[in-house]
C-alpha cells in the first residue's frame, strides 16, 4: 500500500522539505505524504532512533529521506542542522515547523521551569528553525513555511502554557509573512486529532480523551492525514497567494456553544489517506 494523497503525483518532485518533530504523529504522517509526492524529506527530531525508523518506512515505500537529529531549543544546534541540510541539498524549499509538546496542568500549578520548557519547544524552537531556514536558504531562493499551532482559541484551560506558546506562534506567523515576503509563512491549527500523542498523557486523562468527540460539531476526532493535507496545500503552488493565514483543522470545535444542542447523528465523513496510520491505544480501550 502507498499513501493515498489527494494531490497530484510528483507535486514536490525535486524539492527538499524539512519536517521537524518527524518521529511520530502528525510529523510522521506529513513526511510520508510529502515523500509520496516526490519530495526529499529531511526528518528532524531529538531522538535519532525515532526519525531513523520513519526514514526506513519512507524508503520502504519508495520515498527519499534523510535524518538530521537536533534539539530545536538549542540555537547553535539549529544553525548547524540547517547549514548541514543546505550543504547537502543546496537549498530548502519548504519547512513544516511541527515539533512541539506539552503536559497537562492548571496555571496555578505550572512552575517557571515548566512554563519555559513548553514555550521553548512550542514557540522559541519553532522560531529558531524558521529563522535559520529563512536566513540560510529562503531569503535567497524563496520557499514556504508552515507553522504548527493548536486549537487555542478562547483560551486553553488545562494547558495554558501551550496555549500561550501557540498564540505567540500565530503572531510570529503573521509578522514573518510580512517581513520575509515573498517567502510565504502560514500556520495550521489542529483540534483534537487521533494521533499517537494521545497515548502520552496520564491515565487520569483517558476518560476525557475518549469523550472529546462529543464536543465537536463534526461528532468525531480528526485524522493525521487531514492535518497533513492542509499542510501540503499551504506548501504547494496552489497556495501561492496565501501568506500570514492560519487554517483550522478542528471539525468546528471552537464554534460549539454551551446553549446549543449538537444535532447528533452520524459523524461527518473522514479522510484517512495514511496507509501506516494506527489508532491511538487510548481510543481502543
Per-residue pLDDT reduced to its tens digit, 41-68: 999 999 999 999 999 999 999 999 999 9
**With bands split at pLDDT 50, 70 and 90, how would you rate the model's confidence at 237?**
very high
Burial class of residue 258, CB neighbours in 10 A (0-12, 13-18, 19+): exposed
- Is the model's pLDDT at 235 over the cut of 80? yes
Q: Give the C-alpha distances (Å, rounded to integers) separating 18 from 89, 107, 136, 264.
A: 11, 33, 13, 40
Residue 223 has what pLDDT? 97
Looking at mean pLDDT, say which of 130-139, 201-210, 212-221, 261-270 comes out highest.
Answer: 130-139
148: which strand partners? 188
Chain Cα centroid distance, residue 127: 14
Percent of the chain topping pLDDT 70:
100
Average pLDDT, the chain: 95
Give the pLDDT mean for 204-209: 86
Q: How many CA atoms lie within 13 A of 164 on its CB side?
A: 14
Q: Are 175 and 248 in contact (CB under 8 A)?
A: no
In terms of Cα–Cα distance, which of 126, 54, 136, 52 is closest to 92? 136
Closest CA to 186 of 231, 141, 133, 121: 231
Q: Which three cell numbers stand for residue 237?
A: 503552488
Instruction: Check whether 261 has a pLDDT greater than 90.
Output: no
Q: What is the pLDDT of residues 169-179, one digit of tens each?
A: 999 999 999 99
Query: What's residue 175's pLDDT?
Result: 98
Angstrom distances, CA of residue 238 to CA of 31, 61, 260 = 19, 26, 37
CA–CA dist 117, 235 (Å, integer) = 29
pTM: 0.95
The band of 201, judged by pLDDT with boundaries at 50, 70 and 90, is confident
Q: What is the pLDDT of residues 82-139, one digit of tens each?
A: 999 999 999 999 999 999 988 999 999 999 999 999 999 999 999 999 999 999 999 9
**CB neighbour list of residue 271: distance below 8 Å, 6 or more residues apart:** 6, 223, 225, 226, 229
Contact 153, 108 (CB under 8 A): no
Determine the pLDDT at residue 234: 98
Asked if residue 81 lies in contact with residue 70, where contact means CB atoms within 8 angstroms, the answer is yes
Provide mean pLDDT across the span 198-207: 85
CB 43 within 8 A of CB 16: no
Nine-digit cell string for 27: 510529523
Q: Can you list the pairs that 102-111 forms with residues at least 24 positions away whose Cβ atoms lie under 8 Å?
A: 102/159, 102/161, 102/162, 102/165, 103/159, 104/158, 104/159, 104/201, 104/202, 104/205, 105/158, 105/159, 105/161, 106/157, 106/158, 106/160, 107/160, 110/160, 110/161
Work out the burial of residue 2: count CB atoms within 10 Å of its CB; fewer than 13 is exposed, 13-18 middle, 19 or more buried: exposed
Average pLDDT (149-158) is 94
| Domains, the chain | 16-252 (3.40.50.720)
Asked whether the predicted pLDDT for residue 236 surpasses 90, the reply is: yes
The three cell numbers of residue 65 are 529521506
Amino acid at each position: 500500500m502507498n499513501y493515498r494523497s489527494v494531490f497530484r503525483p510528483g507535486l514536490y518532485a525535486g524539492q527538499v522539505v524539512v519536517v521537524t518533530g518527524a518521529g511520530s504523529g502528525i510529523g510522521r504522517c506529513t513526511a510520508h505524504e510529502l515523500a509520496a509526492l516526490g519530495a526529499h524529506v529531511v526528518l528532524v527530531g531529538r531522538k535519532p532512533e525515532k526519525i531513523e525508523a520513519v526514514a526506513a518506512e519512507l524508503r520502504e515505500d519508495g520515498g527519499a529521506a534523510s535524518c538530521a537529529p537536533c534539539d530545536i531549543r538549542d540555537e547553535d544546534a539549529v544553525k548547524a542542522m540547517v547549514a548541514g541540510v543546505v550543504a547537502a541539498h543546496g537549498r530548502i524549499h519548504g519547512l513544516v515547523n511541527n515539533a512541539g509538546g506539552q503536559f497537562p496542568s492548571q496555571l496555578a500549578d505550572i512552575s517557571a521551569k515548566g512554563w519555559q520548557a513548553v514555550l521553548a519547544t512550542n514557540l522559541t524552537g519553532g522560531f529558531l528553525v524558521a529563522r535559520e531556514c529563512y536566513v540560510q536558504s529562503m531569503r535567497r531562493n524563496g520557499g514556504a513555511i508552515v507553522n504548527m499551532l493548536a486549537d487555542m482559541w478562547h483560551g486553553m484551560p488545562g494547558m495554558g502554557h501551550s496555549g500561550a506558546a501557540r498564540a505567540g506562534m500565530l503572531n510570529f506567523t503573521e509578522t514573518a509573512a510580512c517581513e520575509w515576503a515573498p517567502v510565504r509563512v502560514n500556520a495550521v491549527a489542529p483540534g483534537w486529532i487521533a494521533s499517537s500523542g494521545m497515548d502520552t498523557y496520564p491515565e487520569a486523562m483517558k476518560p476525557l480523551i475518549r469523550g472529546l468527540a462529543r464536543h465537536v460539531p463534526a461528532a468525531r476526532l480528526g485524522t493525521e492525514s487531514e492535518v497533513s493535507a492542509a499542510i501540503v496545500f499551504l506548501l504547494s503552488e496552489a497556495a501561492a497567494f496565501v501568506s500570514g493565514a492560519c487554517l483550522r483543522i478542528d471539525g468546528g470545535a471552537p464554534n460549539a456553544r454551551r446553549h446549543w444542542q449538537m444535532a447528533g447523528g452520524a459523524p461527518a465523513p473522514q479522510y484517512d489517506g495514511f496507509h501506516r496510520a494506527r489508532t491511538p491505544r487510548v481510543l481502543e480501550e
